[in-house]
Amino acid sequence: MARFLFMSGNWKGRKKLDAVVDRNLHRNCNIHEVEMLMQVALLCTQSSPEDRPAMSEVVRMLEGEGLAERWEEWQHAELNRRQEYERLQRRFNWGEDSIHNQDAVELSGGR
């Protein structure tokens, strides 16, 4: 959910900072830095270890080098994954229905 909100831009703005930044820090908070940290965090928590950046790349991104390019690449890949998931969901929609319509099966006695 966090990835979707972040990609869609629905998290942006001061109002949404409540979800990620301690209220005591709001006055001293730089929204651009919070955005950058969230992007790096999402890149570092990808499900596949091969897709995660190396620590040296994380340091460079936090210093302001290469994050925009890596983020754009990730957004494109994430959008493709999402579209593929939705396509498969529509194709195999029968699976969800069959889960809920199963008959009880009586098991044999003890052995």
pLDDT digits 0-9 by tens, 61-77:
999 899 999 999 988 88
- Rounded to whole angstroms, the Cα distance separating 31 from 50 reads 29
CB 71 within 8 A of CB 43: yes
pLDDT tens-digit series, residues 11-66: 555 566 667 888 888 778 888 888 899 899 999 998 889 989 999 999 999 998 99
CB neighbours of residue 71 within 10 Å: 19
Position 64: which residue type? Answer: G
Q: How confident is the model at residue 99 (pLDDT cuts 50, 70, 90)?
A: low
What CA–CA distance (Å, rounded) separates 99 from 105? 14
Predicted confidence band of residue 92 (pLDDT cuts 50, 70, 90): confident
Range list of β-strands (E), 3-88: none
In this structure, what token pair is assigned to residue 30? 């730089």
